[in-house]
Chain A
Amino acid sequence: MVGLEWYLGVSAMLFVIGVLGVLIRKNAIVVFMCVELMLSAVNISLVAFSSFMGDVHGMILVFFVLCVAAAEACVGLAIVIAIYRNNITADISKINLLRW
């Protein structure tokens, strides 16, 4: 059996790749995909802890995270479509209507 710390290490690595993607990409859809990446990285560590502690509650939390991620992707993509229709761009550096 592979130890818990390896799962946590991989999870941290994937989370950091997601953070990097959110910071350096400018395409709104890719930024959304990076957020999904971060959510699933956290899910890995939740499932790892749950499995190594013999406690089912972590997996229930992962189930709810999946539901919230689905709702978030649904609403977020609708917002991207609405912005694209008004601004003809999905580049988040050009969406600066609320900028000071």
Chain B
Amino acid sequence: METFFFVFIATFAIGTALAMVFSRNTVNSALFLILHMLSISGFYLSLNAQFLAVIQILVYAGAIMVLFLFVIMVLNMDEDETIFSQVDFKQIFAFLLAIVVFAQLIYIGGEFTGTLPDVSTQEMMAVGTVEAIGDELFTTFLLPFEATAILLTAAVVGAMLLAQQNINVEDEN
């Protein structure tokens, strides 16, 4: 049952990722990315990381993708580009480069085997709970947590400044 769930989720994730990269319409890409994020949270659930699964749906599918869709709506893009109408040298090179990166990642992944500690299922279940993560986050990682809050505030202010209209009105007079 667990293997079946994993295979289903993995197929879904890879399929939606490919559909996102190769779909011509930008809105379709964004919607495929939302489906992809849902399948990623399925991975987190199968790894007993309930807190991160919920956060993934809330932050990515809820917040970030709404931002993306709003920007697509504001920019009002048409399906201008034709991805595979003419296959040029750059695309072939990109495919080769992707294959090389994949081979390297698989090679690195094959190296680690046998170095993991033995962990009981009980311990694996206890790691991903809200209690464990919150306990660690608000004691050991309190300072990085506060720094993240400042980072997000700075990002919001910076985004407002960048996207503002008529930023140089005073300079032109």
Which A residues fall within an 8 A CB radius of B? 1-2, 4-10, 12-21, 23-27, 29-30, 32-34, 36-37, 40, 43-44, 47-48, 50-57, 59-60, 62-64, 66-75, 77-82, 84-85, 90-91
Chain B residues within an 8 Å CB radius of A70:
59, 63-64, 152, 155
Let me know if B151 and A77 touch, CB within 8 A. Answer: no
Within 8 A of A (CB), among B134-170: 136-137, 141, 144, 148, 151-152, 154-156, 158-160, 162-163, 165
Report the Cα distance A14→B20, complex, angstroms: 11
Q: Are A12 and B105 in contact (CB under 8 A)?
A: yes
Beyond A23-B97, A54-B123, is A48–B155 a contact (Cβ under 8 Å)?
no
Question: Residues of A contacting B81 with CB < 8 Å?
Answer: 25-27, 91
Measured CB to CB, the closest approach of chain A to B29, in angstroms, equals 5
- Measured between beta carbons, the chain A residues less than 8 angstroms from B106 are 9, 12
Chain A interface, DSSP helix/strand/loop, else mixed: helix
A74 touches B132 (CB 8 A): no
Asked whether B124 lies within 8 Å of A73 as measured between CB atoms, the reply is no
